[in-house]
Amino acid sequence: MEQFLNPYQLFLIAILAITAPFLAFILSLIFKKIAAALGILSISISLISSVILFLHLWKKQTLHYSFQWIHIGNVKIDVGILLNDLSVIMLVLISLIALLVHIYSVEYMRKEILKYRYFAYLSLFCFAMMCVVMADNFFILYAFWELVGFSSYLLIGFWFTKEKAVQANKKAMIMNRIGDIGFLIGIMIMLSQFHTLDIDALFGSGSLIDSSFVQNGLWVTPFSTMPGYWLSIAGFCFFAGAIAKSAQFPLHTWLPDAMEGPTAVSSLIHAATMVAAGVFLLLRIAPLFNDVVLVSMASIGLFTAFMAASIALTQNDIKKVLAFSTISQLGFMVLAVGVQDNAAAVFHLITHAFFKCLLFLGAGIVIHQLHHIKEKSNVDFDEQNMDNMGGLRKLMPITGIVFFIAAMALSGLPFTSGYLSKDAILVSVFEWADLRGGIFWLFPFVVSITSWLTTFYIFRVVYKVFFGKLRLEKVIAKTKEQMHIHDPNYWMTVPVIILAVFCFGVFFAYNPLNLDSSWVYHGFNLQQHNEGIYHLMVPLYINVMSLALIFLAHLIYAKKKISINFEQTWYYKLSYNQWYFNAFYDVFLMKMVLFKAQTFYWFDRNIIDGAVNFSGIFILRISKTADWFDRNIIDGLVNGSAWLVSRLGLWLRGMLSGKLQHYFIWMLILFLSFMIFKIVI
Amino acid sequence: MGILTILIFLPLVFGVVILLMPKSLTAYFKYLTVAVSLAQLIIASWLFYQFKTGVNFAGVSNLSQYQWIEKLDWIRLDVGSFGTLQIDYLLGVDGFSIGLVWLSALVMLIAALSSWEIKTNLKGYFALFLLLDTAIIGVFCSLDLFLFYIFYELMLLPLYFLIGMWGGVRREYAAIKFFLYTLFGSIFMLLVIAGLYLSVTDPTTGNHTFNMVYAMNPANYSAGFILSAAANVQILGFSARSISFIVVFIAFAIKVPVFPFHTWLPDAHVEAPTPISIILAGILLKVGGYGIIRIAYGIFPEVAVSLSFWMGLLGVISIIYGAMNALAQRDLKRLIAYSSVSHMGFVLLGIASLTAEGLNGAMMQMISHGFLSVMLFFIVGVIYNRVHDRDIYNFRGLANQMPVFTGFVMIAFFASLGLPGFSAFIAEAFTLIGAFSSQAINGLLPRWMAMVAAFGILLGAGYLLWTLQRMFFGTLRLKKEEWQSQLKDLNFREILTLTPLAVLALVLGIMPSLVFNVMSSSVNQFLMLFK
Amino acid sequence: MIPLQHFLFISAALFSLGLFAIITRKNAIQILMGIELMINASILNIVAFGKYDKIDNTGQVFGLFIIVLAAAAVAVALVIIMNLYKRVKTIDPNQTNLLKG
């Protein structure tokens, strides 16, 4: 394509893309009536700008503009935008999905009184998220990273009178903060080592990270030197930030709780975009990671993928299943970064965004319908519980079909986008294990199992919700004709259909069965892919097994031909209780921190302040003693001598009888005694 | 008469005017006070705007580079063979003080606006209030140690009465504790000031002098006198300069407050009326930080370097310890008081790092904490004024009841917990960056300190978000039925007070250069003292 | 020539008589007479010692002085006694306690 616009104009377009949602955020809070329209308008502008940027920059050039912001000492922090291939594709992805979710939300939130806030927050999120992908240095990236978390906090707690929702948003914010501390420490390490936070300077071509090396246990850069383990620490710190944002073990428990927010929000933020920011961060700074960090990353990704998939198997809340599915899929992406197949990670990030968003929106439609029934029937039931659903395929066919397509994509069946991206990851894991051998063969083994678990749990959802009989009839004692369950209007169906279209592989590859024909994958995979046995074998054996599992799920959940009773087994309980992480965190860790806090406070009141008060009391006591001493001893001496003198005086006075002759006798006695005294001495 | 003199003594003059006004005009006292504070803020803003930056206006140890200098011979006493006792009326501002002067003027205006809640003995209250105003601005402007000390002690007196007479239930305990604690620190400082006087001579007149700018220059010390570095006088086996540094540090550490000298703070804050809490948190604590920078570090740089590890450690302990204590509180005001301890720990950590980033961060933190703590205490005041209760567990679901108020609470809370876009984030991030790079730049602080301090931010998120969830979210539930009618949303005056603070926190978070530009040359000059 | 001891013996006897009179008598006049006896005893002593003085007649001169003084003192004493009598109608020292402290 020809270059119609020069870089400066592109820069202005990029600014437009982020300013539009920001203005929408401000204006929505002022003009409450037209908030939804403002949100859709702004994100449409962003989408158009993003597409223009994408067409101009993809595989062509990198746009980097920065302006002086803070200069202190050695630290120069600028504010600017950096648009490379990764950024532009993320921009298009974010704005496209955000636009669809905005449209969907118009209907979904129609009855909310405070919906202007909802759209304002959503615009704030879009602004922050697009800034995250555009940020040209860590400081700005961190700032918007937190702002994304903040807007997520606002949206999870949108129904702020719901106790569970506000518990959830607090939990999300604090868990994200734990990771952010890591991120911040990582920033400090980078700044201390390289004296710059500019991502392009650090990781771009001819980057600073390449000119640094570890030698003799020291990490040497052109500016500074640190002990070598700081390189690993830096890696782990950034990784910690990604762990929290992308809900990886051990900081994953906030994401299932975050499902308390509106479903549209769950779909945009907690499935498609924000949670992917962690993976995005890992991709941006991938050259930093050394082998230790990469292996830990792969291990954590693998473990999270497996754990979350195993939990998703038994959850009855439809959104919970999808939440754990998201965690699991994010685990796949982290695993891909860990095995250094960044292209597969990006690819999966993008395809996952579409089909997971669709799954959530589909679930949202079902929940929305059931919620209406709940309001009309005045019977209290859980509209998110799959035990109340079933057979909806016939009542809401569009929803059923798009959900089915998304489930196929998630399972990675052929002709879907998931087939390409997930198999790319699987192949990489096999090759990686092959290269390393030994214990590393555990990785492809577990990842295959996880992949099959994925297929099974998502089709469990499909069959439980859309096939079989409508179990809700029993719950509220009404026939389905009375309930008026139907597909929603265009506000909701159009976005899900668009998303469903994007679940097909043809959009991402010329030949939807061949990964190597994928333009997204090739956009990031610079080295030539070696054609190995795994490219053929892995997709084959995974998909054959998957089809078998789908059939099994069909038999169990749709036809009820097979009934298995394992609800009393320990592994069922482990899975159903989400591996007891919440119990551990909430009961144990929270209690411990609060107990510590109480202890500190006790210490402060009694020891520190006690010392102050004690010194106060002690001084008072001393002064009391001094007072006693003064009154009794010192003043006592004074008074005592006076008393003595007066006594003596009185006694002597007694001698003065007034009789003249007595005086003479006294004189005589004194004189004589004086003489006797003189003589004796 | 210079502009600084006007700035300092304007409130005092009007304090006297208030004392002379007849009883019938009592209702106008608060308007007069607000007008005076506003005038002061306008002057201070003009100064801030006119303040010249750059290497030639760095100030610190170079008297001629200070701006708006006013020098009058104040006391000249011939003491025979010892020369002349020279005490100057010496005022001036540099990059360190101009920001704090402006902050003080702002906080005093906010405090004046929140003085509406005071109902008794208004004449006394506003007269003392304006006296306090004079003392505070005086502290930041004076460059003569004797003058500084006078203003410094002058702050205590009105505060003692303001807490002790218009405070809460245990006001007398809190007031006397505050007064004695601070006095305890400052009397020993007086000894050091006397020692400095004996050791420092004015290069222009040859007299001994209290001039603190001259005291920063080792060339002005007469050899052989007690605090001259060359003399190396020992007291009880310790160097006299080390002891002096520690004494001065403790005096200011009590003000900051630094663990373990902080316990006056929760009591004083909890018992003080809202405007006085605002002044305490907004300015008084900054006097401590300012004193540590200007006097403790500026005059005894070599001791400061040798003790930096311990200073940093105290900072880190304050951060974590204050945050942990805040987590344990039920009383909202006490919670915020402890959070102040935590936030001011960053100031000490930044100073101890002795890096440009750390010092800038510390100054930024002082200014940022200045208006954020003001905002937080004002928020507590809003609730307390309405229902006379502050227990977190007695409130729930206030968001529906008071939406505008909750909006401001969220801004204040998220700004304090360091959300990017607000000033506290810039301040804390730079402090931590400074503390972290200290190891590589000057080797004073180990890297783990910055990492541990970063967890203070996490704890900060913990207690603030928890409070937000407990008090403001959920369904409305109050301790008493009648509270529902009493808890009205903010009135115009309250919105007027909170809005500029929120805007400032945001503006400084987005454009921190507004403050950094003013300070940076002074900070660089200051760091030269440690080379 | 009469030896000095004789004078001293007489003087001592006179003094003792005077002293006895002072202590025992119930009449102020008699006490005054006792005092005179004691003064005379002392004059006798002075005159007797004067014999051995290096300067001539000093003893006698002193004696004369004392006599004159004694006469004056007697006059004063008599006036006191008179006044006392006027006030309390008695001159028995045991009947008065005006000097009591």
- A655: exposed, middle or buried (Cβ count in 10 Å: 0-12, 13-18, 19+): exposed
Q: Is residue B276 part of a domain?
A: no
Dihedral of CA B488/B492/B493/B499: which sign? Answer: positive
Phi and psi dihedrals of A135, rounded to 5? -55, 140
What DSSP character marks residue A214?
E
Spatial distance between the Cα atoms of A514 and A427, rounded to a whole number of angstroms: 12
- B367: exposed, middle or buried (Cβ count in 10 Å: 0-12, 13-18, 19+): buried
How many helices and strands, by DSSP H and E, does chain B display?
23, 5
Residues in chain C, total: 101
Whether B226 contacts B195, CB under 8 Å = yes
User: In the structure encoding, which two tokens stand for residue B301, read together?
Assistant: 């740089």
Look up the ipTM and state it.
0.87
Nearest to A188 among B421, B425, B433 (CB): B433
Spatial distance between the Cα atoms of B459 and B313, rounded to a whole number of angstroms: 18
Distance from CA of A662 to the nearest CA of C (A): 8
CA-to-CA dists, residue A322 to A275, A327, B71, angstroms: 13, 9, 74
The number of angstroms, rounded, from the C-alpha of A642 to the middle of its chain's C-alpha atoms is 85
Output the DSSP codes for A655-670.
H--S-HHHHHHHHHHH
Spatial distance between the Cα atoms of A604 and B319, rounded to a whole number of angstroms: 14
What is the tens place of the pLDDT at every residue in C4-39? 889 899 999 999 999 898 888 888 888 889 989 999
What is the tens place of the pLDDT at every residue in A462-483? 888 888 777 777 777 777 777 7
Q: Is C73 helix (H, G, I), strand (E, B) or coil?
A: helix
Amino acid in position A224 = S
Q: Which domain range does residue B390 map to?
A: 307-524
Interface test with A, best of B335, B365, B433, B503 (most A CBs within 10 A): B433
CA-to-CA dists, residue A104 to A52, A95, A402, B60, B186, angstroms: 24, 14, 15, 61, 66
- Closest Cα in chain C to A649: C101
Q: What is the dihedral of CA C85, C90, C93, C97, to 10 degrees?
A: -80
Instruction: Please judge whether A660 and C23 are an interchain contact, meaning their C-beta atoms are less than 8 angstroms apart.
Output: no
Interface test with B, best of A604, A605, A619 (most B CBs within 10 A): A604
Which CATH number does C4-95 carry? 1.10.287.3510
Q: Over B302-349, what HEC string results?
A: HHHHHCHHHHHHHHHHHHHHHHHHHHCCCEHHHHHHHHHHHHHHHHHH
Residue C70's CB is within 10 A of a number of other CB atoms, namely 18
What mean pLDDT is predicted for residues B255-277? 86
Check if C101 contacts A (Cβ < 8 Å): yes
Question: What pLDDT does B303 receive?
Answer: 87
Distance from CA of C1 to the nearest CA of A (A): 32
What share of chain A has pLDDT > 70, as a percent?
Answer: 97
Output the DSSP codes for A458-479.
HHHHHHHHHSS--THHHHHT--
Q: Is residue B97 part of a domain?
A: no
Q: Is residue B298 part of a domain?
A: no
Listed in order, strand segments (DSSP E) in chain C are: none
Tell whether the model's pLDDT for residue B230 goes beyond 70: no
HSE-up (13 A, CA, CB side) for residue A586: 12
User: In the structure encoding, which two tokens stand for residue A183, read together?
Assistant: 């991120």
Question: What pLDDT does C72 receive?
Answer: 92
Residue numbers in chain A where pLDDT is lower than 70 = 1-3, 205-207, 525-532
Q: Considering only CA atoms, which of B398, B149, B410, B381 is closest in space to residue B270? A: B381
Of B236 and C87, the structure prediction assigns the larger pLDDT to C87
Of B395 and B231, the structure prediction assigns the larger pLDDT to B395
Whether B29 contacts B122, CB under 8 Å = yes
Distance from CA of B429 to the nearest CA of A (A): 8
Spatial distance between the Cα atoms of A264 and A101, rounded to a whole number of angstroms: 6
Query: Which residues does chain C have within 8 Å of residue A652's beta carbon, measured at their own beta carbons?
Result: 101
Spatial distance between the Cα atoms of B428 and B412, rounded to a whole number of angstroms: 16
What is the tens place of the pLDDT at every residue in B153-200? 998 889 988 888 888 888 888 888 888 888 888 888 888 888 888 888
Of B354 and B480, the structure prediction assigns the larger pLDDT to B354
Spatial distance between the Cα atoms of A396 and A12, rounded to a whole number of angstroms: 44
HSE-up (13 A, CA, CB side) for residue B327: 24
Spatial distance between the Cα atoms of B109 and B42, rounded to a whole number of angstroms: 11
Question: What pLDDT does A1 receive?
Answer: 46
Instruction: Please judge whether A178 and B263 are an interchain contact, meaning their C-beta atoms are less than 8 angstroms apart.
Output: no
- Closest Cα in chain C to A662: C23
Whether A231 contacts A214, CB under 8 Å = yes
HSE-up (13 A, CA, CB side) for residue A631: 5
CA-to-CA dists, residue B289 to B154, B255, B515, angstroms: 18, 8, 17
Question: What pLDDT does A526 receive?
Answer: 56
The number of angstroms, rounded, from the C-alpha of A484 to the middle of its chain's C-alpha atoms is 39
Strand pairing partners for A478? none
Q: Is residue B378 part of a domain?
A: yes
What is the tens place of the pLDDT at every residue in B42-62? 999 999 888 888 888 877 778
Instruction: Please judge whether A658 and C31 are an interchain contact, meaning their C-beta atoms are less than 8 angstroms apart.
Output: no
Name, in order, each residue with C-beta under 8 angstroms of A428's C-beta and a sequence gap of 6 or more: A336, A339, A340, A341, A344
Question: What pLDDT does B37 receive?
Answer: 92
Is the pair B, C in contact (3+ CB pairs within 8 Å)?
no
Query: Which residues does chain A have within 8 Å of residue C94's beta carbon, measured at their own beta carbons?
Result: 659, 661
Q: Considering only CA atoms, which of A132, A174, A149, A364 is closest in space to residue A269? A: A149
What is the tens place of the pLDDT at every residue in B101-148? 999 999 999 999 888 888 888 888 999 999 999 999 999 999 888 899
How would residue B231 be classed by pLDDT, with cut points 50, 70 and 90?
low
Q: Is residue B358 part of a domain?
A: yes
Question: What pLDDT does B477 receive?
Answer: 82
Whether B497 contacts B114, CB under 8 Å = yes
Dihedral of CA B36/B37/B38/B39: which sign? Answer: positive
Question: What pLDDT does B108 receive?
Answer: 92
Check if A181 contacts B (Cβ < 8 Å): yes
Spatial distance between the Cα atoms of B5 and B114, rounded to a whole number of angstroms: 26
Instruction: Please judge whether B465 and A174 are an interchain contact, meaning their C-beta atoms are less than 8 angstroms apart.
Output: yes
The verdict on whether omega for the bond into residue A287 sits within 30 degrees of 0, i.e. cis, is no
Residue B485's CB is within 10 A of a number of other CB atoms, namely 8
Spatial distance between the Cα atoms of C36 and B278, rounded to a whole number of angstroms: 99
The number of angstroms, rounded, from the C-alpha of A507 to the middle of its chain's C-alpha atoms is 30
Query: Which residues does chain B have within 8 Å of residue A188's beta carbon, measured at their own beta carbons?
Result: 432-433, 436-437, 450
